[in-house]
Structure 1
Amino acid sequence: MDLGIVKRAGRKPVVIGFLTFLFPVTLNLIVAGILSGKREMDPVLLKSIWHVAIFQAVTSFHVIVCLLADLKLVNSELGQLAISSSMISGMCSWGLVIVILFITELKYEPFWILLCPLSLIVLIFYVLRPLMVKMIAKTPEGKQVKEGYMLCIFIMVLGTAFLSEVLGHHVVFGATALGIAVPHGPPLGTALENKIESFVSSILLPSYFVLSVSRVDLLSIHSETVFVISMFGLTSFIGKVLGGMLPALFFKVPPVEAFSLGLLVDRQIYSMMVINMLFVSGTFTPVIKFLYDPSRHYKSSNKRTIHHISLNMEFRILAGIYHQDSTPCMIRLLEISNPTAKTPMCCYIVHLVQLVGSSSPLFMYHEPGATAKLPTKDCGRIINAFRLYEQESNGNVIVNLFTSISPFASIHEEVCRLAVEKRTSLVIIPFHMQWRLHGIEDITEARAVNRHILAKAPCSVGILVDRGTLSASKHHFVYKIGIIFVHGRDDREALAYGLRMAKHAKVSLTVIHLIDPAEGAVLSLDMDLDDDIITEFKAASAGKKRHSYITEFVKDSVELITLIRSVQNSYDLILVGRHHRSFSPIFMGLTEWNEFPELGFLGDVLASSDSQCQVSVLVVQQQVYRAGDRMNSAKNLLEDSAETVEIIFESTQGWKDIDISRHRMQPR
């Protein structure tokens, strides 16, 4: 667990977390008082009614996190709020349970009951935790934790659990305290998760559930017990929903999201009634999934593309990076995007790190000049490289740096939400296969992330296949860029990006227009739009010898591949669109052998394992620009102009982005 969440939590999660603890406990205690005073019941139930009331009302942090992970909501705004709130609520619940257990046992051995757990906590946090910190310090960067260290950790777990039992407390007390003390994240938290996750998830946890359910005897349950326990279940549910909804509504969270938050905070394993657990888990999980879909925010936002913004306006790009080796190529791509004083560029760089060895995700903004602790050494190198690029850009580029440490199953939500809030026109993400000096590195999990971003991004998306040719250009004085243009909106988007690059003094742009003779007489709106942007390129490149336009006629896929292979190694970077008309004769056969569908037909030909292409490739997908979005174009123009004014020059710091849009980590 990352206990730093409690420190970083703002007012909203603290209020919600405390009220989701206070409301159900208060309601259950009131109900317990009413039932015990006015109803005859079984003596055993009467004796334990106060404990049942409290235990039915507590919230478990790790259960909330697991539920959010299953629903793929960890990276959503609702998920972040639920995690922070449940941490606060869970700490309050644990504190109350411990106090009750101490009070219950004080009548037997008052002194020892207080001294023993305090001594165990001191041992764990002031002896065992420093030992674990030393283990981390002695583990070299990028290396695995030694097996001897892992053995020591396992001995600590068994030892603290045994001591807890000997001292008169539950075996879980010592082990849980040690778990909280373990430093989260790599290398130790990651190593522990890799070692024991499968064993715990596949063997221990199912065995625990089987043993727990095997003790349930439905025939022994009396109607009176069912009524009492169900009352506590109902009141705790109402208390948690109200405790989550009311403060959320006060903080102006939308009603549907506030209700979903209430249901999320309510999801718990009812220790007294397995039937309640099944009902709550089986009913409210799909309800939450139905009510809250974070991608709805992206669908309802105004679509933004390169083609539909003026060449004279500020250009906003969001770039994701999985590994520091992608930094040089990404910086070079930003450089040839032609940021100038009249057309400045605002870049949002997100280092995407897979969450392992920790329960809670982390999203942090790296403020210029700040000395905050960085999550990884790679992160520090990426930050330094982009800060240096920003300094060398003479104020034409503003760079905002972020790190997102999240499960790769939902990290795309972070990217899409940031793109919405910052109103970017393009998201660039590296291809999951990355060419290195020692060979090809395949970041398998990143492929699913890229596909999700392609499907849900609120703006255009580019997938960058980095083979090192752009960052280490063979042409010392000019970057040779090639665009293979067929037809369709994605090709137009690629050419629109190329038009920006063509304005750079050190860029030589060649457009190769592939024409199918069979479609020469076809008239359509798509063809008219293709002709318009090609005409725009011809006009912009007139009289400039470094730019050229080539027309090639191809009638089938064989001629297409032959042409591509003849030109593929003539450039430093090739731009292609992702989608074309798949029924066109020139693509016949390519659909059946598509190795990487996320790259489209041409991108797949250039990046497939049997390709002889040795240059970098950028595959561009234009966000669908609906007619309804065009009605808001004037509004978008005004918003962009207003935000450009927000970029002010400070004599001591240079250009600084004081964007006061909604992002939670962005400083005002």
Structure 2
Amino acid sequence: MDLGIVKRAGRKPVVIGFLTFLFPVTLNLIVAGILSGKREMDPVLLKSIWHVAIFQAVTSFHVIVCLLADLKLVNSELGQLAISSSMISGMCSWGLVIVILFITELKHEPFWILLCPISLIVLIFYVLRPLMVKMIAKTPEGKQVKEGYVLSIFIMVLGTAFLSEVLGHHVVFGATALGIAVPHGPPLGTALENKIESFVSSILLPSYFVLSVSRVDLLSINSETVFVICVFGLTSFIGKVLGGMLPALFFKVPPVEAFSLGLVMSCQGISDVLLVQHGHLTFVMTLPSVYPILDIQIPLLLIEYYCLILCRNLHVFACRMQLVDRQMYSMMVINMLFVSGTFTPVIKFLYDPSRHYKASNKRTIHHTSLNMEFRILAGIYHQDSTPCMIRLLEISNPTAKTPMCCYVVHLVQLVGSLSPLFMYHEPGATAKLPTKDCGRIINAFRLYEEESNGNVIVNLFTSISPFASIHEEVCRLAVEKRTSVVIIPFHMQWRFHGIEDITEARAVNRHILAKAPCSVGILVDRGTLSASKHHFVYKIGIIFVHGRDDREALAYGLRMAKHAKVSLTVIHLIDPAEGAVQSLDMDLDDDIITEFKAASAGKKRHSYLTEFVKDSVELITVIRSVQNSYDLILVGRHHRSFSPIFMGLTEWNEFPELGFLGDVLASSDSQCQVSVLVVQQQVYRAGDRMNSAKNLLEDSAETVEIIFECTQGWKDIDISRHRMQPR
């Protein structure tokens, strides 16, 4: 847990979290008062009705974060809001539960019940936490925590859990308090998760669920209990949905997202099962004749109750202090299973973050004017990709008339923490950086920005999130900043010591290719582009066959061709069998080829070559004859798979995300030593051309507004009159 999320939470999550706690608790207590006053019921049920009302209304931060992780919504706007809100709601809920349990136990030994947990918390936060901080300080950055440190923390877990039990509280109390005290994230949190995650998730957790549900006795449930539990379940559900939905609507969250947020906040899971189980399996034990100083009440799990038989000769006295009986426990567990099992697929159906990207105006390099600002979003997994990315930005020809705005996102996998982090690095700020790699990346891009003489503006971000959903951050940023292309490194990175395979990054790249709101480029970095910085000319090659992705690659090449130190060669591969076929796609190909010929006329450093190929063998022969003649090769991703020149390549495509040509250049048996940029154009439908013109007008209107806002003498002018409205 990252408790800092509470400090960073704005007004919106605080209001939603507090109301999500207040509404269901209030409704359930009102209903409990009505039922206990106007309905005759079983005495046991009447005695427990207030506890049932509270147990049904609580919210758990861990359950909601795990649910969002399973649905891959951690990085979505809904997920970020739900995480912050659930932290507030969960703290209020569990604070209320602890108070109620303390009040229940205070009837027996008030002094010990209050003193013991306070002493345990002081021990954890003022003795054990400083020890863990020292462990982190003694661990060199980038190195793993020593096995002895991990073992000592496991001993701390067992020790605090045992002390919690001995001092009169549930075993989970001490372990949870220690978990909060452990510094989240690397290196300590990461090491602990790597050690115990598989064992807990694969063995302990399923076993615990089986054990918990095995205590459910369907035959013992009567109609009265079913009615009461269902009423509380319904009112708590309504309270949580309203508590999440109403403030979200007030803060102008779309209705579907607000309702989905309410459903997320209403789900229950393992923490709630543990709470109900504690209420059902609580016992009080006193040891007056053996340990007079421990004349206190100790809650025990059911399995410990059987151990009391062995203690009869010690004159141990035990009595049951049951907050809910077996049939109430059974019905509440069934209710939790029903709520979580029903609403999880409903949330997945209602809320799809990619719908925002699909509904947004598509942006591509080809449809971005050469005379307007060019916006690029660059993702980086490792600092070694920085030189090649900077060189690619440099040859994209930023000038005073055609400036470039670059958004750089350092993508870091979240391990050892539940809360993702998205940071914007302000120029000149001295904020604490998550990793050393992050600092080096920031310094390199800041230096490039300074050397660009104002032609490039660089905005730097760090996203620390699960790789299963980190693409949502990239796509959302691309939508907000209206970028024309997202450029991300290939998951295989060529280093001096060999090839480094970031396996998790491959899935991230595929998700970005599928959901990005703009064009996407995958950069296969072999070091040739960054090493060519001392050359007089950057040699760029484009292998052009046909289709929209090849046109997008050539459109990018047209930008590069305007750079004084770029030599661009277009190799047009022509299938003679398709020469007589005319189509709109081929007309568009001819148009951009003609545009390149006109732009390169009279410039000896640019050239246009044609090669006739009739099958895949000739295609590969041509590619291998030119593959090591350049510093960077641009290719399109998609081509017609039924074309004869690609017929054989479809059967052994090693990296489908690179397309046919990219796979030939980057496959393991390739002799290519050159960096490759594989380009995919965002699909432009018929109605999107009007949107392109609309975007141009919106950008112009935005520029007009900025001019007026920056002119101090014109503050009173109504800017709305100067907006450019698209026809």
Residues 647 and 658 in structure 1, CA contact (< 8 A), matched pair in contact too: no
Spell out, residue by residue over 1:456-482, the C-alpha distance to the aligned partner (whole angstroms, 9 max, x if none).
111000000000000111761111000
Say which SS state the counterpart of residue 424 (structure 1) adopts. Answer: coil
Spell out, residue by residue over 1:63-105, the C-alpha distance to the aligned partner (whole angstroms, 9 max, x if none).
1011111111111101110111001100111111111122222
Residues 708 and 719 in structure 2, CA contact (< 8 A), matched pair in contact too: no
Say which SS state the counterpart of residue 639 (structure 2) adopts. Answer: coil
Rounded Cα–Cα distance in structure 1 between residues aligned with 2:249 and 2:416: 34
Residues 241 and 266 in structure 1, CA contact (< 8 A), matched pair in contact too: no
Q: 1:515 to 1:265 in 2, by over 3 A?
A: farther
Rounded Cα–Cα distance in structure 1 between residues aligned with 2:596 and 2:328: 63
Rounded Cα–Cα distance in structure 1 between residues aligned with 2:503 and 2:718: 35
Deviation at 1:602, TM superposition (A): 0.5
Q: 1:283 to 1:456 in 2, by over 3 A?
A: same
Deviation at 1:108, TM superposition (A): 2.1
Which moved further from structure 2: 96-105 or 585-594? 96-105
Q: 1:505 to 1:472 in 2, by over 3 A?
A: same
Q: How does 1:330-409 map to 2 (within 5 A)?
A: 330-409=389-468
Spell out, residue by residue over 1:312-358, the C-alpha distance to the aligned partner (whole angstroms, 9 max, x if none).
00000001111111011001100110111111101111111111100
Rounded Cα–Cα distance in structure 2 between residues aligned with 1:445 and 1:580: 26
Rounded Cα–Cα distance in structure 2 between residues aligned with 1:426 and 1:556: 32
Rounded Cα–Cα distance in structure 2 between residues aligned with 1:548 and 1:659: 52
| Residue in 1 that maps onto 2:618 | 559
Q: 1:265 to 1:532 in 2, by over 3 A?
A: farther
Say which SS state the counterpart of residue 34 (structure 2) adopts. Answer: helix
Deviation at 1:634, TM superposition (A): 2.4
Residues 647 and 659 in structure 1, CA contact (< 8 A), matched pair in contact too: no
Rounded Cα–Cα distance in structure 2 between residues aligned with 1:358 and 1:666: 47
Q: 1:663 to 1:321 in 2, by over 3 A?
A: farther
Residues 363 and 692 in structure 2, CA contact (< 8 A), matched pair in contact too: no
Q: 1:399 to 1:162 in 2, by over 3 A?
A: same
Which moved further from structure 2: 35-44 or 550-559? 35-44
Deviation at 1:641, TM superposition (A): 2.5
Q: 1:367 to 1:52 in 2, by over 3 A?
A: same
Spell out, residue by residue over 1:458-516, the C-alpha distance to the aligned partner (whole angstroms, 9 max, x if none).
10000000000001117611110000001110000000000000111111111111111
Which moved further from structure 2: 217-226 or 598-607? 217-226
| Residue in 1 that maps onto 2:318 | none
Deviation at 1:416, TM superposition (A): 0.7
Q: 1:460 to 1:154 in 2, by over 3 A?
A: same
Q: How does 1:535-614 map to 2 (within 5 A)?
A: 535-614=594-673
Deviation at 1:141, TM superposition (A): 1.2
Say which SS state the counterpart of residue 529 (structure 2) adopts. Answer: coil
How many matched pairs?
A: 667
Rounded Cα–Cα distance in structure 2 between residues aligned with 1:655 and 1:501: 40
Residues 48 and 324 in structure 2, CA contact (< 8 A), matched pair in contact too: no
- Root mean square deviation, CA, Å: 4.4
Deviation at 1:106, TM superposition (A): 2.0
Which moved further from structure 2: 219-228 or 595-604? 219-228
Deviation at 1:451, TM superposition (A): 0.6
Say which SS state the counterpart of residue 650 (structure 2) adopts. Answer: coil
Residues 339 and 397 in structure 1, CA contact (< 8 A), matched pair in contact too: yes
Q: 1:292 to 1:23 in 2, by over 3 A?
A: same
Q: 1:231 to 1:277 in 2, by over 3 A?
A: same
Which moved further from structure 2: 604-613 or 408-417? 408-417
Rounded Cα–Cα distance in structure 1 between residues aligned with 2:653 and 2:156: 52
Q: 1:291 to 1:36 in 2, by over 3 A?
A: same
| Residue in 2 that maps onto 1:226 | 226
Deviation at 1:659, TM superposition (A): 20
Deviation at 1:640, TM superposition (A): 2.2
Spell out, residue by residue over 1:426-473, the C-alpha distance to the aligned partner (whole angstroms, 9 max, x if none).
000100101000100111111111111111111000000000000111
Rounded Cα–Cα distance in structure 2 between residues aligned with 1:549 and 1:79: 50
Residues 339 and 396 in structure 1, CA contact (< 8 A), matched pair in contact too: yes
Residues 56 and 272 in structure 1, CA contact (< 8 A), matched pair in contact too: no
* Candidates 610, 615, 636, aligned match of 2:695: 636
Rounded Cα–Cα distance in structure 2 between residues aligned with 1:234 and 1:269: 16
| Residue in 2 that maps onto 1:272 | 331
Rounded Cα–Cα distance in structure 1 between residues aligned with 2:12 and 2:88: 11
Q: 1:531 to 1:603 in 2, by over 3 A?
A: same
Q: 1:666 to 1:463 in 2, by over 3 A?
A: farther
Spell out, residue by residue over 1:532-577, the C-alpha distance to the aligned partner (whole angstroms, 9 max, x if none).
1111111111111111111111111111111111100000000000
Q: 1:657 to 1:281 in 2, by over 3 A?
A: farther
Residues 269 and 277 in structure 1, CA contact (< 8 A), matched pair in contact too: no
Residues 56 and 270 in structure 1, CA contact (< 8 A), matched pair in contact too: no
Spell out, residue by residue over 1:625-647, the C-alpha distance to the aligned partner (whole angstroms, 9 max, x if none).
11111122221001222445678
Say which SS state the counterpart of residue 464 (structure 2) adopts. Answer: strand
| Residue in 1 that maps onto 2:136 | 136
Deviation at 1:111, TM superposition (A): 2.0
Q: 1:211 to 1:140 in 2, by over 3 A?
A: same
Rounded Cα–Cα distance in structure 1 between residues aligned with 2:156 and 2:463: 32
Say which SS state the counterpart of residue 514 (structure 1) adopts. Answer: strand
Say which SS state the counterpart of residue 488 (structure 2) adopts. Answer: strand
Q: TM-score, normalised by structure 2?
A: 0.88
Residues 20 and 265 in structure 1, CA contact (< 8 A), matched pair in contact too: no
Rounded Cα–Cα distance in structure 2 between residues aligned with 1:662 and 1:108: 74
| Residue in 1 that maps onto 2:38 | 38
Q: 1:596 to 1:661 in 2, by over 3 A?
A: farther
Rounded Cα–Cα distance in structure 2 between residues aligned with 1:448 and 1:267: 46
Rounded Cα–Cα distance in structure 1 between residues aligned with 2:587 and 2:720: 37
Rounded Cα–Cα distance in structure 2 between residues aligned with 1:622 and 1:656: 42
Q: 1:601 to 1:487 in 2, by over 3 A?
A: same
Identity across matched positions, percent = 97
Q: 1:5 to 1:402 in 2, by over 3 A?
A: same
Q: 1:474 to 1:8 in 2, by over 3 A?
A: closer
Rounded Cα–Cα distance in structure 1 between residues aligned with 2:177 and 2:725: 34
Q: 1:457 to 1:653 in 2, by over 3 A?
A: farther
Q: 1:204 to 1:460 in 2, by over 3 A?
A: same
Q: 1:310 to 1:435 in 2, by over 3 A?
A: same
Q: 1:661 to 1:306 in 2, by over 3 A?
A: farther
Q: 1:160 to 1:659 in 2, by over 3 A?
A: farther
Say which SS state the counterpart of residue 505 (structure 1) adopts. Answer: coil
Deviation at 1:657, TM superposition (A): 24
Q: 1:493 to 1:655 in 2, by over 3 A?
A: farther
Rounded Cα–Cα distance in structure 2 between residues aligned with 1:463 and 1:140: 33
Spell out, residue by residue over 1:607-638, the C-alpha distance to the aligned partner (whole angstroms, 9 max, x if none).
00000000100000000011111122221001
Q: 1:602 to 1:19 in 2, by over 3 A?
A: same
Q: 1:29 to 1:155 in 2, by over 3 A?
A: same
Rounded Cα–Cα distance in structure 2 between residues aligned with 1:658 and 1:573: 50
Rounded Cα–Cα distance in structure 2 between residues aligned with 1:61 and 1:290: 22
- Unaligned 5+ residue runs, structure 2? 263-322
Deviation at 1:203, TM superposition (A): 1.2
- Unaligned 5+ residue runs, structure 1? none
Q: TM-score, normalised by structure 1?
A: 0.95
Deviation at 1:648, TM superposition (A): 8.3
Spell out, residue by residue over 1:193-217, the C-alpha distance to the aligned partner (whole angstroms, 9 max, x if none).
1000011111111111111111111
Rounded Cα–Cα distance in structure 1 between residues aligned with 2:721 and 2:126: 41
Spell out, residue by residue over 1:294-317, the C-alpha distance to the aligned partner (whole angstroms, 9 max, x if none).
111111111100001110000000
Rounded Cα–Cα distance in structure 2 between residues aligned with 1:197 and 1:314: 47
Which moved further from structure 2: 642-651 or 198-207? 642-651
1:481 matched to 2:540? The reply is yes
Rounded Cα–Cα distance in structure 1 between residues aligned with 2:58 and 2:558: 59
Residues 541 and 571 in structure 2, CA contact (< 8 A), matched pair in contact too: yes
Rounded Cα–Cα distance in structure 1 between residues aligned with 2:723 and 2:174: 36
Deviation at 1:649, TM superposition (A): 14
Q: 1:265 to 1:215 in 2, by over 3 A?
A: closer
Residues 646 and 658 in structure 1, CA contact (< 8 A), matched pair in contact too: no
Rounded Cα–Cα distance in structure 1 between residues aligned with 2:597 and 2:571: 12
Larger radius of gyration: 2
Residues 599 and 619 in structure 1, CA contact (< 8 A), matched pair in contact too: yes
Rounded Cα–Cα distance in structure 1 between residues aligned with 2:589 and 2:324: 52
Residues 543 and 571 in structure 2, CA contact (< 8 A), matched pair in contact too: yes
Rounded Cα–Cα distance in structure 1 between residues aligned with 2:602 and 2:166: 88
Residues 362 and 683 in structure 2, CA contact (< 8 A), matched pair in contact too: yes
